[in-house]
Amino acid sequence: MKKIQVLDKNTIDKIAAGEVVERPSSVVKELVENAIDAGATAVAVEIKDGGTTLIRITDNGSGIEKEQVKTAFLRHATSKIERAEDLLAISSLGFRGEALSSIAAVSQVELITKTSTDFTGSRYRIEGGTEVGLEEIGAPDGTTFLIRNLFYNVPARKKFLKSHQTEAGYISDLMERLALSRPDISFKFINNNQTKLQTSGNTNLKDIIYHVYGRDITANLIPVNREINGVRLHGFIGKPLVSRGNRSFENYFVNGRYVKSNLISRAIEEGYKGFVMQHKYPFTVLHLTIDGKMLDVNVHPTKMELRISNQEDVYRFIYMAVSDALNGRELIPMVSFGTEKKSKEEHMLPKTPEPFEKNRIQKMQNHLKNQSSQNEKKNFSDINDNLKVSQNSIRENTNYSANDTMFDTNLLAPESCSRHKIIGQLFKTYWLVEFEDKLFIIDQHAAHEKVLYERNVKLWKEKKHSSQLISPPLILTLSHKEEEILCTYQSYFEELGFEISSFGGKEYSITAVPGNLYGLAEQELFIELIDSLDTMTGKLTPDMIRDKLATMSCKAAVKGNQNLTYQEMEELISELMTLENPYNCPHGRPTIISMSKYELEKKFKRIV
């Protein structure tokens, strides 16, 4: 066994740095949070080469006294807490006491700082954890940090960094969140000599949202302001039409700190249930103010996760705040006078049941009565499970198997075209088709989606695409991350038929769209494709591209509750006939189900 020994200071500092300084954005986070804690009302961040060669952070905060400058770079040195008990009531953002020591261990640091009571400032240089010099210097009140050549002495760490553009994207996202967390502070972010973000610090949260996300989202915000027993939630949530394909637009802050919390995310998303489609996520910028003694934010080195002591009450509070805001007057559907809205379960029951139906109805009524009684006894923390149960309990009474769609006599064979009879459209969603001794029910959206998908796959395989010019062009505002995605997959969008160009700033102009999608929610489709590509890594594979083609087909397909003419139905059925597998849409849902004449006659008791 090797001899046990105490590590030297240099090694200890580099190990500690590994916990605190993962990438350039980690440095920016620690130093900007320190600036905020120092009372700064203006913070400027400038980076070059993704923050690898230079990070300059300037603030107008209280500064560091001369005799405290060296002490600030010692491990576990902090002005935020004095003893362990202080961890129970932390109100500052930074408090670990390792940030400056860790940053200095893996970079070349220059600090210029001055307090309002000092006549001159201090300039301190430290490289790789080793002091280089300390001198007096003329300086304005506040603090400036210059971090050069990050990870210059730990090349193994540096090689794991991503491209300069990607690293800059992480810092941009961070600065946007910091601006949203503190509307009372003016933030400026400069990347390679270009100003990417600048806020006024006028305390207007809606102004910050506009600067970060653009006019389209800002025009569709719903205010939230709720307070109970000292717990307050305020900010904005997006109307359902601005929902996205991932959680990247869910922003929430606890006591001014940007965090990730499964509890808060679930409460928000549960509040949106019934307003957004499955696998869609809302836009939110919400500030939660809560007693610090009820929180533990020191559970992770990045302080991004937190624990909340009274989870059930907080869950209920957030859920109700979001749900009530969404149920505002502008979102209430209009109903006719003299009608009473009935539950789904009530609609499932016939008004005048036949004798042979009475037993089934009585069982359903007893089930609903028991379920209602049980629900009244459950506490609010089970709301998520209750909703899932109630959704899953509603099932169609008519069952069918896979064999029902593998037709004995093929409805979709070309020779069958002259023998099938379209009876009509049911609920503006399903087509009823009579063929020989069977009734076929076709889901118009699933059928059209499958046809479009096969068309798109064929064009993609043959490297053919058509574009349709649109006038006037679509003008979209993209976030920094969305710009990065567009830049990465520009050729992919062009292969599909999009023509996109910069319109200045964060604005982009779409002058052409895929020919078969013209006039069919081009803007919504484009944003959804951007969102879906957010999680991609590396080169797009054929399977990934097929998934995107399925998304395009789903968006472009006719929807339920949409009238179609007999000619349109005939044309779509004819094209469905040409497919190798017309029985399922790209997502696996059946396009067609059937019921035999024999089964119908059994249902009507013509056959016993």
- Return d(Cα 241, Cα 259) in angstroms, integer: 25
Dihedral pair phi/psi, residue 602, rounded to 5°:
-65, -40
Q: What is the pLDDT of residue 344?
A: 36
CB-CB contact of 591 with 443 (8 Å): yes
Compute CA distances 275 → 150, 249, 309, 330, 356, whole Å. 46, 17, 30, 13, 38
CB-CB contact of 220 with 285 (8 Å): no
Show me where the domains of the chain are located. Answer: 9-198, 208-331, 399-608
Which residues of the chain fall below pLDDT 50? 77, 79-90, 95-97, 299-301, 329-361, 363-364, 367-369, 371-409
Tens of pLDDT, residues 6-43: 556 666 565 555 557 889 999 999 999 999 999 999 99
CB-CB contact of 104 with 17 (8 Å): no
Q: Is 147 helix (H, G, I), strand (E, B) or coil?
A: strand
What is this structure's pTM? 0.62
Q: What is the pLDDT of residue 358?
A: 41
Which of 386, 399, 396, 449 lies closest to 587 in space, CA to CA? Answer: 449
- The 250-254 sheet, strands edge to edge: 221-228, 231-238, 284-289, 250-254, 257-258
Amino acid, single-letter form, for residue 263? L
CB-CB contact of 471 with 499 (8 Å): no
Q: What is the CATH number of domain 399-608?
A: 3.30.1540.20
Q: Roughly what angle, to the nearest 10 degrees, separates helices 311-326 and 383-392?
A: 60
Which of 226, 237, 183 lies closest to 41 in space, CA to CA? Answer: 183
- Stated as kind and residue range, the H or E segment containing 228 is strand 221-228
Tens of pLDDT, residues 178-192: 999 999 999 999 999
- Stated as kind and residue range, the H or E segment containing 32 is helix 24-37
CATH architecture classification, 208-331: 2-Layer Sandwich (3.30)
Domain 9-198: top CATH class: alpha beta
